[in-house]
Structures are given as C-alpha cells and as structure tokens.
Amino acid sequence: MSNQNDTFADDGAPRRRRRYAKGRRPFFMADPDVDRLLAIVTALTAEVSVVRDRLDTAERLADLGLPATPANIEAYVPEPAVEATRETARSAMLDRVFRILSQPTEGGGEVNYQAIVDRFS
Amino acid sequence: MQNNSTHAMFPDATHDEQAMQSFVKTLRVYVLGEFQHTGRDLLQTRIEPAVRKANGGREPTRRQLREAFAQVPVHRAWSSMLRVTQEILYDTVGPSIERQLPDLVSQARALRGKKGSLVLDPDLEMPRYLTAVDIHSKPGSYQQELMADDVFAGAEFDRTYRLYSMGTNGPNLDAAGWSLIAWIKKTYPDLRPKRILDMGCTVGHSTLPYVRAFGDDVEVHAIDVAAPCLRYGHARAVAMDEAVHFSQQNAEGTNFAEGSFDLVVSHLLMHETSRTGVRNVFAESRRLLAPGGVMAHADGVQPDDLFAKYYAEWMAHFNNEPFLGSIQDEDFVEICVGAGFRRTDCIVGRAPLWRPDARPEDLPNSSSLVASARKPCA
C-alpha cells in the first residue's frame, strides 16, 4: 500500500501544511509550562526583530528620499553591509533577552553570600 | 521580494519573511553556540568525571550522558531553546513556501524534462523508519504532499537547509558532496567512474557536484523516496543547467540492474535509516557496483568526540532522528563485510569539510565519517 497522498482538491488548491511534527514534543524544564513560555518569548522576540528590520528599511528608504510605501519596502534589497549591521543588532538583542540563561550558577551561591552578610553586619 | 539564490527555482521571500528567517538564522547560531559552549564545559568539569567515577573509569554511555545532562537546570533551558529554534525554523519558512506553492509547482512543471530526467513511483512504499515520526521535527516530513505535483517539502528544505547550515555549505549548499568527492579522489586515485548513483539525495544539493567532478562524460543518477523533494530537485537541477537522472526509489532495494554503477555514494543518508536499513543499503550498493566499483557513504558520526556523541543522542531523542544515537556505536567495517565485501577492500575514514569555492581556513574544522568499500575487479 502506498503511503503517499493520492487525492487532491478538484480545484487544484493545495491542502494546508501541518504545523506540528509527528513524534514526541519533548519538555525539558521542571514544569513544562516553562518550556511553553520560553517558546512564546522566543516567538515574540522574532516579531520584534522583524519590526526592527522593517523600521530600519523605512529609515534607509527615507535616506534615499523614498517614501516607506509597502511597494518600496518590498523592493528594497539591503546591501551586505546593511545586513551585517542588522545581524549584529539581532545577536545583541538575543544576548539581552536571554541573558539570564547564560549567567554562571557555580562558584558562589546563597550560603557564601550569607557569610558575607554576616561578616559585614 | 528577495531571492538571494543561485537558481531560479529557489523560493522567494517578502521583506518580513526574509527578516523573520534572518532572525531564525541568528537565533540558531546563538542557541547552538550557547548549548555547545556551556555543554562542553559541563561535560569536562562535572559530567564526565562524575560518570567515570561511578563507572569504574569507563567512558560514559550515550544514555548516561543524556541522563546526567538532564539534571543540570541551565542545560535543560538551552535544550528547551534548541527545540524551540527547530520549531520556529519550520513555522517561519513553511508559511512562506505555502503562500507561493502553486507558483512553485507551475515553475517545476515548466522545467520538467528539459534536462536529465525524473521518474516517480506512486506505489513505492515508504520505509517505516521514515513514517514513524516526522524527521528533524519537520511537520509533514520530506514526503508529505499538499497538492498534485507538489514540491512543498523540497522547496522548504532548500530554504531551511540554507538557514540551518549558516553559510558553511556554500551558495549551492553542496559542501557535503564536494567533501566526499575529495575523499574519494584521494583514497581511490585510479577511479574513473562513468556511472554514479547518489542514494537518499533529497533535492540533490550533494548530487550536483558529481556531474562535473569526474569528467564530462559521466552519467549521474539520484534516488530518494520523497516525491516532493525529487520534483523540486529535478527542477532545481534543470534551473542550474545540470543533467541528473532522478528516480523515486528506496536505497535498500532499487530497480537498477546488477553492476550498473562505478560509484555509489550517499551523504547523511545512513542515520536517517535504521540498524537493518543501513545493512540493506550496503548490500544493495554492493549489488549495484560493477567490478572495480566503489561505494562511499558519508555521515555525521564522531565516535571520538564525547560531546558530539551526546549531541547525536540529544538529536535522536529530542529532534526525531531515531537512529542518530545508536549509529554512533556501529562498526562500519563489519557492516561492509556483512554486505559481502572482502574485509581487505573496506576503508572507514574521515572526509574533512571542503568545497572548491572556499579557502580551507575559512571553513569550520569538521569532518564526516566515510564508510567505503571496493568491489574486486573481475
């Protein structure tokens, strides 16, 4: 038996693509809702990044004396140097948004800190 | 609209689609970098010493590594982020391909048969290891079809692979092919293949270099089980003015006659099969080789790098690549011998990442395992 799809709509219109992969959706955090929240925050960060790029395009069009119409925005192709600047900005944003995940947790916790409090009290 | 591609079949992207995809690329660089950097550090300073101690000095198993890493909160967070990055990759590129799918299908139809060929087999049964889960967590995997003459999975793969490989595979995304070609030429300097088969070709990224690498009179065939990838791959090859004969076949058992090829290759195919599948692929490769012919299967197997082994285990368990973990422990010489090759005709080596359009110092210092064997001359 074939696993492939054999019937399609008569009007030739495509079926909708699937959004979720078959298999297991793994969760890693102590509470899976934290995984879900990380996914939401990451998706929102992507949205902010897109708005930032679009604003940058509008500003660069203005520099060229062009209005930021949808057509002008679609026609705009960034030079490699512009793309490199955007890349740096995206990286820096990720570094700020997810900063807490990179914080070292070793070498000094609350026990040590309590000793410092006691020493200066 | 931005295209930024080397061929006319490449899907386009609106301003915001491109911006989102560029973000995903940066996200992947960032998350994978942190996952690897903090992970290697943890492995060295805490996990390997602790597990070795408990093991009486023996190297940790893949499962022990996975269980030990799962105890570390910061690593759990980076694992969560790595999975999210993979999901966002497809949720970003997918809608963009879906929007232009009817146009892409029309373009592929117009290019069909202009150069090389495409033979599909609607009755081909998919191997179970490719239907049990969606490989790489790609929704619909590589074979799902959304309309007649569909190319969705192939077009999506061309764009996602470009983002995913972060520039290292070159503008034509063909570094895996060039790397294996360089290894074959070095290992078998006398080999002059006239007929070449690439197994598990997806859209032919690695296939195309073989058309020119061994001279002008070479016939190159490429097989895969996924029709949408083959349709796209054929149209892409035509758009790039390269002649490749694509056909929809399972590498475990093809319809080519015995002794049809002088060179049988694959790139990142083995780990997408199964323990039984890879053995069948090697036996089929041997059947297809003419006397004096060579098979060479390349894959991301790194038995000497403990963190890479853990990463393969991670992908096997958390990114829908079920065989990627245990393939790390395979003895490829034994698989070649089991397929009927003489032990003295088997070579397991490593092919460094290489492509002719980049200086070696500009490429990452990485390599693939190559499992190779030669059929004796008659």
State pLDDT tens for residues B207-242: 999 999 999 999 999 999 999 999 999 999 999 999
Check: CB of residue B297 under 8 Å from CB of residue B280.
no
Residues 6+ apart with CB under 8 A from B210: B177, B181, B196, B198, B218, B220, B263, B265
In Å, what is the CA distance from B40 to each residue of A64, B88, B300, B306? 48, 25, 18, 9
- List CB contacts (< 8 A) between A28 and chain B: 70, 76-77, 79-80, 83
Residue B124 included in any domain:
no
Looking at residue A3, what is its pLDDT? 44
Residues 6+ apart with CB under 8 A from A40: none
Residue B267 has pLDDT above 70, yes or no: yes
Q: How many domains does chain B have?
A: 1
Residue B70 included in any domain:
no
A-B CB pairs within 8 A amount to 164
Residue B346 lies in domain: 164-374
Report the residue of chain A nearest B124, measured CA to CA.
A2
Residue A89 included in any domain:
yes
Confidence category of residue A94, pLDDT binned at 50, 70, 90 = very high
Share of chain B above pLDDT 90, in %: 93
Shortest CB distance from B143 goes to which of A4, A17, A105? Answer: A4
Residue B1 has pLDDT above 90, yes or no: no
Is B22–A53 a contact, with Cβ atoms under 8 angstroms apart? yes
Residue B243 included in any domain:
yes
Rounded average pLDDT over B136-151: 97
Shortest CB distance from A42 goes to which of B78, B88, B125? Answer: B88
Residue A86 included in any domain:
yes
Q: Which of B371, B288, B305, B302 is nearest to B337 (CA)?
A: B371
Kind plus residue range of the DSSP H or E element containing B201: none
* Tens digit of each residue's pLDDT (9 = 90 or more) over B290-323: 999 999 999 999 989 999 999 999 999 999 999 9
Q: Tell me the one-letter amino acid at A41.
A: V
* CB contact B84 to A (< 8 Å): yes
Range with lowest mean pLDDT among B82-96, B164-178, B318-332: B164-178
Is A14–B1 a contact, with Cβ atoms under 8 angstroms apart? no
Residue A76 included in any domain:
yes
In Å, what is the CA distance from B53 to each residue of B49, B60, B61, B67? 6, 10, 13, 15
CA B77 to chain centre: 27
Is B19–A53 a contact, with Cβ atoms under 8 angstroms apart? yes
Is A19–B76 a contact, with Cβ atoms under 8 angstroms apart? no
Q: How many domains does chain A have?
A: 1
Looking at residue A6, what is its pLDDT? 57
Report the residue of chain A nearest B128, measured CA to CA.
A3
Shortest CB distance from B34 goes to which of A9, A20, A102? Answer: A102
Residue B111 included in any domain:
no
Residue A84 included in any domain:
yes
Residue A90 included in any domain:
yes
Looking at residue A2, what is its pLDDT? 43
Residue A109 has pLDDT above 60, yes or no: no
Q: CATH number for the domain including B280?
A: 3.40.50.150
Residue A82 lies in domain: 67-101
Is A29–B76 a contact, with Cβ atoms under 8 angstroms apart? yes
Residue B261 included in any domain:
yes
- List CB contacts (< 8 A) between A14 and chain B: 98, 101-102, 146-147, 150, 152
Task: Please identify among residues 158-217 of chain B the ones whose CB lies closer than 8 Å to any CB of chain A.
Answer: none
Cβ neighbourhood burial of B47 (10 Å; 0-12, 13-18, 19+): buried
Residue A11 included in any domain:
no
Is A16–B320 a contact, with Cβ atoms under 8 angstroms apart? no
Residue B197 included in any domain:
yes
Mean pLDDT across chain B, nearest whole number? 96
Residue B251 included in any domain:
yes
- List CB contacts (< 8 A) between B160 and chain A: none
Residue A10 has pLDDT above 80, yes or no: no
Round to whole Å and give the CA distance between A29 and A35: 6
Looking at residue A1, what is its pLDDT? 37
- List CB contacts (< 8 A) between B77 and chain A: 28-29, 38, 101
- List CB contacts (< 8 A) between B167 and chain A: none
Confidence category of residue A11, pLDDT binned at 50, 70, 90 = confident
Residue A119 included in any domain:
no
Looking at residue A8, what is its pLDDT? 82
Rounded average pLDDT over B367-374: 98
Q: What would the 3-class secondary structure string for A14-46 be? A: CCCCCCCCCCCCCCCCCCHHHHHHHHHHHHHHH
Residue B308 included in any domain:
yes
- List CB contacts (< 8 A) between B127 and chain A: none
- List CB contacts (< 8 A) between B132 and chain A: 23
